[in-house]
Amino acid sequence: MAHYRNAHPTAPGTISQQAMPGHHHARGSEHPAHAAGAKPRPRVLGKSAVAQSAADKAANAIYVWQGKYDRIKLQQGFLREFGKSPHFNSAAIPHFELLVGFIEADTRITDLRWAAYMLATVYWETTSLEKTIAPILDKHHKPVLGKNGRPLVRSRQRWLTTMSPVEEVGHGAHRNYFLPVKVEPLPKGGARVTEQDGDQFTVTAEGNYKAITQGARLGTAPTQKATTIYKDDKGSEFAYYGRGYVQLTWWSNYAKASTELNLGLQLLLNPDDVLQPQIAYKVMAHGMLTGKGFANGRKFSTYFHGVKTDYVGARRMVNGIDHAADIAGIARQFETILIAAKS
């Protein structure tokens, strides 16, 4: 997680300016402006610093925003930017507007670029295989009728943008979080988790976990056969594959995300709740704002502040550099939409 402090070695208050314990600066080396009775000189910014400050102010005038967005302009912008995409889906527009509503209501979102990057992430992560049905047309583009006189139709699967929480394709098959685990709530508010290989863990009410079984390791090979310990466990069975806007995975991440959102262990005990749009938004926004959970210590302020705009690097909050340039391009499209829709 990046921490912004006085990074320059001669910035006021940094260790490099302080005398070592038991030592004093030589009187002769004292700066004339700090001599006894003299007023300190005002700090004068160099030309490059002045230019940087002006550039930051100009960027902030565009991007610092906590107001509303015009819904008609949002719709028009979405159609203009994405209408010609092979993945375009008009059914995604209401979900897009719902997501913008969550962003408007979230007072922590103070930069339009943060909103644009969340929308781009959702656009990418929630594009999924959808079944569509279309009429069969003849060479004159008229519906072909069946023996019963009804139009014939064909079904097919297409990758379409949904802008709504989705389940991971394949439910994480071949990954070590693929197999379900058993979860048993404990009297004091925590829970016990038993994996298929017999490894057991306790989860505290704060979402932290600790191994019960000696040598227990998080995760199980997807080919693992259920042990007797697992079969005899009385807990409820859940699978923790990717769900939501940013595909939350692993039972340990469900537990931690849940407590950080002040939901207790709700998401551990009811993982499908992450498919609720409001909860999916909270998971995504919390991670990107704080760097916790799936964000791996990286957060919005690292990539967007003042004149700095790093849509490519921001992908590291979610999934390394996977398709970073593609998502950056989508984020710029959403930035254009949002700037035009400010009201």
Q: What is the pLDDT of residues 37-61, one digit of tens each?
A: 556 666 655 667 777 789 999 999 9
Predicted TM-score (pTM) of the model is: 0.79
**Tokens in use for 50?**
């002045």
Q: Are residues 175 and 143 in the same domain?
A: no
Q: Are residues 257 and 343 in the same domain?
A: no
Tell me the pLDDT band of 296, cut-offs 50, 70 and 90.
confident
Domain boundary (238, 259, 275) is at 275
Task: Please report the pLDDT score of residue 10 as a whole number.
Answer: 32
**pLDDT at 20 > cutoff 50:** no
Say if 7 falls within a structural domain: no
* Stretch among 15-29, 96-110, 143-157, 241-255 having the lowest mean pLDDT: 15-29
Say if 3 falls within a structural domain: no
Q: State the average pLDDT over residues 201-218.
A: 96
Q: Are residues 177 and 265 in the same domain?
A: yes
169 near 161, Cβ under 8 Å? no
List C-alpha distances in Å: 154 to 74, 131, 137, 144, 145: 33, 10, 10, 11, 12
Q: What's the number of domains the chain is made of?
A: 3
Say if 320 falls within a structural domain: yes
Say if 31 falls within a structural domain: no
Task: Please report the pLDDT score of residue 40 as a whole number.
Answer: 64
Q: Are residues 97 and 137 in the same domain?
A: no
Say if 223 falls within a structural domain: yes
Q: Are residues 101 and 76 in the same domain?
A: yes
Domain boundary (226, 241, 275) is at 275
Domain boundary (275, 290, 325) is at 275
Q: Are residues 254 and 336 in the same domain?
A: no
Say if 220 falls within a structural domain: yes
Say if 293 falls within a structural domain: yes
**Tokens in use for 329?**
């391009």
Task: Please report the pLDDT score of residue 277 as a whole number.
Answer: 98
Task: Please report the pLDDT score of residue 4 as a whole number.
Answer: 31
Single out the residue of 331, 277, 290, 333 nearest to residue 309, CA to CA. Answer: 331
Tell me the pLDDT band of 142, cut-offs 50, 70 and 90.
confident
**Non-local CB neighbours of 158 within 8 Å, separated by 6+ positions:** 87, 129, 130, 132
Q: Which domain holds residue 150?
A: 130-160
Question: DSSP secondary-structure letter at 102?
Answer: H
Q: What are the beta bridge partners of residue 211?
A: 201
Q: Are residues 309 and 321 in the same domain?
A: yes
Say if 150 falls within a structural domain: yes
